[in-house]
Amino acid sequence: MKFILASTSKYRQALLKRLCIPFTCESPEVDETPYPQEAGDKLALRLALAKANAIANTHSGEHCYIIGSDQVAVVNDLPVGKPGNFENAFKQLRQASGQSITFYTGLVVINCLTGKTFSLLEPFTVKFRSLSDTQIANYLKIEMPYDCAGSFKCEGLGIALFEAMEGRDPNSLIGLPLIGFLELLRLQGFELLDHLPID
């Protein structure tokens, strides 16, 4: 069985490598523009499905799994995107200071051989400490998380921004909930620990 990650995200690739399974990556061409008044959880799942389908369409009938994932951060019921630069990241973290942010990660696994699609939505909430402007600026200058929704990297120095974390899988904060992914594989009869590449 072949695995294809419908993403070129270095963060998702690093997570998937932890599972010791060979995989390739393909970049899906998907318009990620939210629909008017689209809730963050619905957006994350819709985009994950769109990404997986975009790649699955070129592998129909093949013996492979397509993995699609998308993450949306929500503050005060409003989606928060990737900041792109220092100024936007500073605004995001200042808004997040003392607040809770919920990250919704949509995950889709498509079995190209059977045509079946399995999906889930993984929520994870982060409670931010009250942060000074100096603390925010210092963090951003060191880690520069401008390609990360919410303007932080929880696997790095970003942990210093938090007061608490709530959810079953912190990997979902990085963009790929591994516990949920393995669940979706088991629903299709694939148990990872029975298929590890051991000599």
Please list the active-site residues. 70
Angstrom distance (rounded) from CA 145 to CA 153: 6
CA pair distance 125, 146, nearest whole angstrom: 20
* Sequence-separated (6 or more) residues with CB below 8 Å from residue 114: 188
Give me the residue label for tokens 């029975």. Answer: 194
Dihedral sign computed on CA atoms, order 31, 63, 24, 186: positive
Which residues lie closer than 8 Å to 144 by C-beta, 6 or more apart? 86
Neighbours of 60 (CB within 10 A): 10
Amino acid identity of 81? G
User: Residue 3 burial (CB < 10 Å; 0-12/13-18/19+)?
Assistant: middle
* Alpha helices (runs of H) in 31-104, residue ranges in sequence order: 40-56, 86-96
